[in-house]
Chain A
Amino acid sequence: MSVDKSTVARIARLARIHVPEERQEKLSSELNGILDWIEELNEVDTGNVEPIASVTGHSLPRREDVVSDGNRVDEVLANVPETASGFFVVPKVVE
């Protein structure tokens, strides 16, 4: 599995990172280097092995579905690059 320039462009778009065309070649070779090395995992027989996502050994705790926090508009907006009337402001998304 090899990552070419167009694959770099595709995953960069998925990751919402602008990667200029002149950097795509270098990135594709770096990513290929990492992926080649990762291929080592194919030596391991994992036929009957269940994947593991967490090592905690305990199930996630549950609590009552009630409001336990809130009314912190000022705190939530304290670091916002652009705000208006208590809202986040983003570039226009509808015509």
Chain B
Amino acid sequence: MSDLLSLSAVAARAALDAGEISAPELTSAYLAAVEETAPLNNYVAVTAERALDMAAASQTRIKSGEAGLIEGIPVGVKDLFCTAGVASTACSRILEGFTPTYESTVTANLWREGGVMLGKLNCDEFAMGSGNETSAYGPAVNPWTGADGVELVPGGSSGGSASAVAARAALLATGTDTGGSIRQPAAFCGIVGMKPTYGRCSRWGIVAFASSLDQAGPFSRSVADNALMMQAMAGHDTKDSTSAATPLPDLMAALDKGVKGMKIGVPSEYVMDGMDSEVVALWEQGQAWLRDAGAELVAISLPHTKYALPAYYIIAPAEASSNLARYDGVRYGLRVEADSLDEMYAETRAAGFGEEVQRRILIGTYVLSAGYYDAYYLKAQKVRRLIKQDFDTAFETVDAILTPATPTAAFPVGRKVDDPVTNYLNDVFTVPANLAGLPGMALPAGLNSDGLPLGLQILGRPFDEASLYSIGRVIEDAAAFSAVPQRRAGGAS
């Protein structure tokens, strides 16, 4: 069984087509892995029966030569994606029992290409968090264990997705990234996560958090698997007015292009006070790998970097307060009865939303309220333009940018934090790409002295995911990251 779990998606596809393994076999192995790693709490619902049906259908298509891009590959789905007939709750009590009658475009694309749905994955409530600790289902846990066996967060918001892929309880998984929610958990769990360009993946059928920032993307254990999944899930969709018509190039072909002659920017502003020295060392190592592979490293400046997080914490809550107005106890989900309509709204939303979500709705309401709109919201939108211009200027001279993915490795579950701002600082390296709409990839590059994975991030020009896969492949080869988490399925421990 464990042999099946160690196959990459690309290798599994080849083995399926060659008839060396069957789709039901592969799916059964993963369903067993899901069960084995259940204490990590990374799944909130397992759709075993559906998975076996889909795998059987995949097997038929493989035999008749009609296999899709990810035919027969077991995929986990972040609970933020609406899946027809399967409860979709954004890990919030307010969506308790909500069963969509429709399928999100991204998951529909994955099933069209033959993906097999294993179940729904844990995440922060409405994707608001950096540790998967705000979930109504309780925290998901990182399969990597800290010193003295302490349990660590998998990152967030797509924590269940990253945990499941790292623990071999899914071969691929979907995530969404509004301020780092794919890249930060990928880094914390030692896997590859990609936030594509804003507009690359349709947002239709994904529970909205901050619509001008939200993007879906893939999680995988290798760069090639990531490109394969990206190819299957992306594409223009008329049901999302911000979806881009820009054609997606052949990402698999980009994998072996190398970086010879590429100019890679290294932004001086990404050296932060109090940054982990091991993170800095790894970043320098990453630069050396790319230089050795023929790239030219160029010092660049992104002068407004330090303002990205505060701008984000105005824009994202403002958009969230508007998006989450729809949870009113009338159309779907939880309802707390009260005497008047207004009281029913207020009681339903007080009972249904967790603390962090309430805090962000209140901040968003405040910055949009009369008298404060210009001082906060408009100001943040102006700063957002300056951040985007920083990148536009940088991309006149460089082809991509290399940064650390996170300021630290994964932190313990239940870490006590007095001030919400401390948690927000996790996303310091990832948020700028969301504000500017750029593609960003996080991938594992080494271990720290506690044996925990650390990641690097590559940022690219809009719609140039292909270069990120070329660069990512070079880093992957150079890093030769082969460490595996303690609490993985099929592991000896």
Residues of A within 8 A of B (CB): 1, 3, 7-8, 11-19, 27, 30-31, 33-35, 37-38, 40-44, 46, 49-58, 60-61, 63, 72, 75, 78-82, 88, 90-91, 93
Contact = CB atoms under 8 A, between A and B. Distances in A.
Contact of B419 (A14, A33, A63, A72): A33
B172 to A, nearest CB: 27
Given A14-B365, A31-B359, A91-B338, A46 B386 contact: yes
Contacts of A8: 362
Question: Can you list the 7 inter-chain pairs with the closest CB atoms, starting with the nearest?
Answer: A51-B381, A55-B437, A79-B332, A81-B335, A46-B382, A18-B346, A18-B350
A93 B382 contact: no
Please indicate which of the listed interface residues B307, B330, B337, B437 has the most CB atoms of chain A within 10 Å of its own CB: B330
A90 B349 contact: no
A72 to B, nearest CB: 8
Interface stretch (B120-128, B288-296, B369-377): B369-377
Interface in B416-452: 419-421, 435-437
Contacts of A37: 310, 313, 421
Interface stretch (B56-64, B96-104, B157-165): B96-104
B310 A41 contact: yes
Nearest to A42: B379
A87 to B, nearest CB: 11
Contacts of B361: 15, 17
Taking chain A's interface residues, is the majority helix, strand, or loop, or is none over half, making it mixed? Answer: loop
Given A56-B198, A75-B101, A17 B358 contact: yes
A57 to B, nearest CB: 7
Contacts of A11: 362, 365-366, 369
B359 A30 contact: yes
Contacts of B102: 75
B35 to A, nearest CB: 29
A72 B245 CA distance: 29
B69 interface: no
Given A31-B362, A40-B306, A81-B329, A16 B242 contact: no
B212 A53 contact: yes
A1 B359 CA distance: 17
Contacts of A42: 379
A44 B344 CA distance: 42
Contacts of B382: 44, 46, 49-52
B340 interface: yes
Contacts of B375: 1
B304 interface: yes
Interface in B321-373: 321, 325, 328-335, 337-347, 349-350, 353, 358-359, 361-363, 365-366, 369, 372
Given A17-B361, A38-B376, 15 more contacts: A11-B365, A14-B365, A19-B350, A31-B366, A35-B366, A37-B310, A37-B421, A41-B379, A49-B383, A50-B382, A55-B462, A56-B244, A57-B462, A61-B241, A81-B334
B385 interface: yes
Contact of A41 (B238, B311, B349): B311
Contacts of A61: 238, 241
Contacts of A46: 379, 382-383, 386
Contact of A15 (B306, B332, B365): B365
17 contacts: A15-B361, A15-B362, A16-B325, A17-B346, A33-B420, A38-B376, A40-B310, A44-B307, A46-B383, A51-B378, A52-B388, A55-B437, A58-B245, A78-B101, A79-B99, A91-B338, A93-B341
Contacts, number: 162
Interface string B196-225: 001100000000000010000000000000
Contacts of B195: none
B263 interface: no
Contacts of A12: 346, 362
A34 B386 contact: no
Contact of A90 (B98, B242, B344, B420): B344
A91 B339 contact: yes
A44 B304 contact: yes
A84 to B, nearest CB: 13
Given A38-B314, A56-B242, A88 B331 contact: yes
B78 interface: no
A82 B331 CA distance: 9
Contacts of B362: 8, 11-12, 15, 17, 19, 27, 31
B488 interface: no
A28 to B, nearest CB: 10
A49 B385 contact: yes
Given A30-B359, A81-B329, A17 B212 contact: no
A44 B386 contact: yes
Given A14-B365, A38-B313, A56-B242, A30 B420 contact: yes
B380 interface: yes
Contact of B99 (A35, A50, A78): A78
Contacts of A16: 325, 328, 342, 345-346, 349
